[in-house]
Structure 1
Amino acid sequence: MTGDAPLRILLAADFARSKAQRTFFSVERKLANGFIRLGHNVVCFSDRDTARESSLLRSSRRGAAKMNLKLVETARHYQPHVIMVGHADLVTGETWAALREAVKTVRLAQFNVDPTFRPKTMATFGERANHVDVSFITTGDAAAIRAIEPAPKNVHFFPNPVDGSVETARVFERQRNELELDLLFLGTRIGTRDEQIDFLDSHLAPDVRRRFAGGIRGSERISGLAFLNALATAAQNLNIPIDDRRPEALLYSSDRIALLLGQGTAAHTSAPARLDTLYDDGVLAFSSREELAENIVALSKDDERRRRIAQRGWQIAHSRTNSTRVAKYMLECLFALPLSEDYGWPTGPLS
């Protein structure tokens, strides 16, 4: 990578073609947007879709071998400068070697947005790190990275990206009584999520009446554009951990934090993750279920403060962690270039 010369980037991840593009707001799609805005050419290779399409039974596992061959064939024809993969668990060690053979000067990278307390997922991440040049993860906790086995090498933090063409709402511009909901949580019923929502239900009434939780306690999950639009119906949204009995690793969050702040809603997030070091006073942190309930009630009674916090978070997310800036940072790390600016998040290898 020299100067401003355009790159060819092969981005391999789950682009969910078979799911009617419902995940158009995924991290991999935002990164593709960022690379393109930087002037690069991007080919998106959907590994799981390709594997399913390669099997008569539409099984990704049964079609994995053919998918690996097609990935190498794509690289051979496209001759990318960069191959970046996200959660490509079906890509084998032999394929990494074949990619380097097919494209002699290629730079390989991976990115991951999962929490580090999932041993199986992190073992795969650590194994892939032995094949790529740089690994990126949405956790800035060096101790948590060092605990991964097998030990990954050259791991860098990257923030969940926001994209101005995806997160287009500005909830902070609307008063509480103009919005459908005071509080919303959309997620899955894993860990202690049900317990956390049950606790809030018993502690928020009667101060916060208009609230909804989707995807837990038997309620229907919302996906696609409906998911993104739903976030913009609520004055406050929850970014609660999977298991609040386990402290979040430094700077870790799922991509929910980018979606919430990007849409301009007030976001409540776990204090141990210290996301305030990335988003400053644009998030509201809580250390316990009781404090979370207190914070929600306080913002419900002080709508001007709610709107100020939400606007601050929106401004920081769209300026500091936008997809173009994140993509530029990742390329600078991948090509071992001097950083072009102070990005406002931890830089340098965590391992």
Structure 2
Amino acid sequence: MTTIQSLRILIVADFARSKAQRTFFSVERKLANGFIRLGHNVVCFSDRDTARESSFFGSSKHGSGKMNTRLIETAEQYQPHIILVGHADLISGTTYSALRDKVRGVRLAQFNVDPTFRPETMATFAQRTAWVDKSFITTADSEAIAAIQPPASNVHFFPNPVDSSVETGRVFEKDRESLELDLLFLGTGIGTRNEQLDALDSRLPENVRRRFSGGIHGSPRISGCAFLRALETAAQNLNTPIDDRRPEAFLYSSDRIALLLGQGTLVHTSAAAHLETLYEDGLVIFSSREELAENVIALTKDDERRRAIAAKGWQIAHSRTNGTRIAKYMLETLLEKTLSEDYGWPTRELSSSRK
């Protein structure tokens, strides 16, 4: 049994203090909760907030120098055993070297939750692999990782985490008649999303109560608790890709998948990413816009089956991919310990594996 003593962990990411905590359900916050539940001490350093606060004009770019200095000072005072960096693109390579100088023996890691087809994000991710000991990303597609050409072979998959103190809904416990909607999508209309949802809308009968909002066709964005509460109003929710004309990376999804499954709603998701490998029959996959419409209609009619699938997805998400379990896996991997259990997802270095 792998045992890890209590550690000091510094997480560097965008904790959005200046945005009234509207992203309190972000991946970095769930990971922080997971490390704390494992008995570790965690300090959260919000790089973008610190950079903006360090600039007279509130500019993260102009305040990045002072932010880097403040990060080094924080690490020197806190002396963390581990520094875990999220999408902190303002941190320079010299700062990573300084962190190692100021904190002897520190282990450095990064995590990324963006899709691999975003060139700028992936370029910085690949660059950071040379500065950290381990890298974690929410896709297990070795070919997609190889295309990014990270200079190190230490890239590992991690699932989007669920947190029982965040995703508190149990939509599967409610029958259709007690819910406001049969189908919901909350998100932006980037890529082909507007087109996908228009095509779906045209195929659904009037008795399927639906709402497409949160950015679709310029509709108002929804954040904070209002976002989580909205997910609980619908029997079924959509996890549509940004662009359904583009091949999806193996096991990739945005953190939407964790939010939806965690709230206990039934989830429709594209077959291309093979998320059933991770969540089994706890979600419903579709291979075309036509099949998606057919699935929605069928599950609107068969409420018992809808509730059974949603319950299975909720159970798998909360047991297999909860933030505490993912945090333990990340620590064991970063500290190069023998894994304490079979986690149920790919755990080898992805640069040399094949899906």
Q: TM-score, normalised by structure 2?
A: 0.97
Equivalent-residue separation in structure 1 for 2:308 and 2:5 (angstroms): 41
The letter of the residue matching 1:110 is: Q
**1:293 CA drift (Å):** 0.7
* Structure 2 residue 330 is matched with structure 1 residue 300: no
**1:152 CA drift (Å):** 4.5
After superposing on structure 2, the runs of 4+ consecutive aligned residues of structure 1 that deviate more than 2 Å are: 149-153, 209-214
Instruction: Tell me if the contact between 2:213 and 2:221 (Cα under 8 Å) persists in the aligned partners.
Output: no
1:302-321 map, 5 Å: 302-321=302-321
The letter of the residue matching 1:171 is: V
Partner of 1:161: 161
Instruction: Tell me if the contact between 2:200 and 2:293 (Cα under 8 Å) persists in the aligned partners.
Output: yes
1:104-115 map, 5 Å: 104-115=104-115
Q: Secondary structure at the match of 2:235?
A: strand
The letter of the residue matching 2:179 is: L
Partner of 1:48: 48
Partner of 1:26: 26
**1:189 CA drift (Å):** 1.4
Instruction: Tell me if the contact between 1:86 and 1:110 (Cα under 8 Å) persists in the aligned partners.
Output: yes
Equivalent-residue separation in structure 1 for 2:277 and 2:37 (angstroms): 27
The letter of the residue matching 1:144 is: A
Q: Secondary structure at the match of 1:252?
A: coil
Q: Secondary structure at the match of 1:57?
A: coil
Instruction: Tell me if the contact between 1:125 and 1:152 (Cα under 8 Å) persists in the aligned partners.
Output: no
Instruction: Tell me if the contact between 1:164 and 1:318 (Cα under 8 Å) persists in the aligned partners.
Output: yes
Equivalent-residue separation in structure 2 for 1:218 and 1:42 (angstroms): 38
Partner of 1:174: 174
Equivalent-residue separation in structure 1 for 2:13 and 2:23 (angstroms): 12
Q: Secondary structure at the match of 1:235?
A: strand
Instruction: Tell me if the contact between 1:130 and 1:153 (Cα under 8 Å) persists in the aligned partners.
Output: no
Partner of 1:206: 206
Instruction: Tell me if the contact between 1:194 and 1:217 (Cα under 8 Å) persists in the aligned partners.
Output: yes
Instruction: Tell me if the contact between 1:332 and 1:339 (Cα under 8 Å) persists in the aligned partners.
Output: yes
Partner of 1:251: 251
1:58-137 map, 5 Å: 58-137=58-137
**1:214 CA drift (Å):** 2.5
Instruction: Tell me if the contact between 2:197 and 2:212 (Cα under 8 Å) persists in the aligned partners.
Output: no
Equivalent-residue separation in structure 2 for 1:152 and 1:206 (angstroms): 53
Q: Deviations over 1:140-176 (max 9, x none)?
A: 1011000004545300000000000000010000001
Q: Secondary structure at the match of 1:226?
A: helix
RMSD of Structure 2 on Structure 1 (CA): 1.0
The letter of the residue matching 1:267 is: V
- Unaligned stretches of 5+ in structure 2? none
Q: Secondary structure at the match of 1:217?
A: helix
Equivalent-residue separation in structure 1 for 2:294 and 2:62 (angstroms): 51
Q: TM-score, normalised by structure 1?
A: 0.98
